[in-house]
Structure 1
Amino acid sequence: MNETINVRRTLVRVGTEYPMVGTLAFGVVDRGTNVVEVRPTSICALSCIFCSVNAGPKSRARAAEYIVDPDALVNAVEEVASYKGTRVEAHIDGMGDPGNYPYLVDLVQEIREVVDVISMQTRLYMLSESKIKELEEAGLTRINLSMDALLPPLARKLSGTNFYDVNSVLRKLGFILNNTKLQVIISPVLLPGLNEGEMEKMGRLVMALKMGDRIKYPLLIQKYLRHKRGRNPIDEEDWDSFWNHLRKLSLEVGLDLIPTGESMSIAPAKELPKPYDVGDVVEVRMLSPGIFNGECLAVPLRRTGSNIYDRVITIVGRPCIPNKRTRTRIIRNKDNIFIGV
């Protein structure tokens, strides 16, 4: 069912008519490791000025937003976790903030039965203290807190909104550390020329709160990358400059800021099969607009009924006519994300 949420975008309620694998916009993303990305919604109320996926109400690039049926998503996580045959971390993230997902507690509770660790990437501001406790009781293991500045005016500027209150987020962080056993990783994006000075403050904060008592790497600073569809307010720094910055900061605050994949318990794991090769032509039925302008989500006419093999395909550069049958030629299939023309 599709609903209008503003003059430019459609809200798509994603049910079992869509495979849960094949797009970055929702569902399950498998990158060949024991960490499975679980994406329940693309909705975000912020319009961060550096957002790599152009989320939020100010976006001019997005055509649709998505909310996934929880049963369909749980079923997909169960299938993928079973297929991998190893200890799996479900990382709840997305092209929006999963904290906005109305069935978040139910999702965590249901997938807890089939995975070993459940982490979530969020800006936290939308979650009440009672909701945080509910998530812990449901089985959430860790919160990866997206927070890019401690200075309130700068935090608001970076968020692209006037209502974002970093002090409220800090109070909720304090609640988590004092009233739950949840692990927390603060994960800011380093934006050269905008928030370098905030990184040391965050390191000092992490040390003062003794967040390292719960997890080995409580501060993970991310490199800013320009993206084709993203908001790109600044130029990228090179990787050498980024790593040198982290090494210097590590010495200044006494905190290891350069973890390895192994130290984060990330390991190669059985990858989902790719049912289509680049160049294959697939008969499909168009269903709804893709997340960005000029895209259309389609499903193959021939399906197995399993998320291990079925894929949703994003068709680019063609009008999106729901229920139209057509053919599409696959031009990309990396990480089981399928793009067709």
Structure 2
Amino acid sequence: MKPIFALIIILIYSNFFYANKPKVKIKDFSNVKTMYVSDFNVNQNVILAEELKMEILGQLSKELAERLGFKDTIVIERKTYLNYNQKDLYIIEKNNSNYKLLLLGEESVKKMSGSGIAVRIQSAKVNVSDVLKMVEYAIANRKTLDKNLVKTDYFLFEGDKIQILANSEKFISNIVSNNSVLVKSLIQKEIILLKDSGKIIIWQNDGFIFKENLDRYQPAYLYGNINHGELRLQDFYYYIRNEIYNYFLVFSDKNTFSYFDAYEEHTAKKIHIEKGSSIYPYMTAKEIIYGKLVIYDNDNFFIYNVYKKKLQKIE
């Protein structure tokens, strides 16, 4: 029990209690502007896949616009939510390239100024190909975009609702169901989302790849006996990065994770956390002791054995 006790002591001093607040991230890609608003923001080592997708969408939308010869402003605005009773919201409009989703519910629903086109999405998740098709549609049909906006109920956190102009689910479904040769070509590109002295995260062919950064092994022939691995995922919920021990916990959903530290023998997929209840992300202790690390939320403690690939709940 001593190793477990030591782990818990470390955990107590590892910022156990954390406050939830949204993360707002704004970035420009030439004439493409992106804004990402998260449902939670625990610390810099907890990153949602939706945040990474905004980087992908910014880069690929810039190239899409260049290929179509569109030089005006394009806004891609994304807001995720924890309230799963909330309905998805899509707004594709013209001449309104200022940010809007943050203002909804704050008596600021009037049309704002700014030329160009905007694709605004509030949802739990998005598909990169689908959003690129919306951008492509908006460029090709920019003169008639506002004709497809209809009065839509928007529910506030207090349970009240307001009416805004948005696109219907059927309208969006028709856009994303169409095949696009241009989008199909774009999603095959490789985009490096993270590269440091330890790890690399790459997006390619509509999926994510977690890898070891082999550039640090010089000369390379001296380290040929290291058994490197990689983790490939079509999509995921969020990852937790431990920079000291250089590993990822990648959660595919609220209670299922993969462990990856680039050693093939340690890589484990689809480890399930039973009786998980928190809607907020799990956290990890800063230390690994005897190959064990602590995973926790506000209600539960677990110990994961890296070598045995087993998870134990601490009652």
TM-score normalised over the length of structure 2: 0.29
TM-score normalised over the length of structure 1: 0.28
Larger Rg: 2
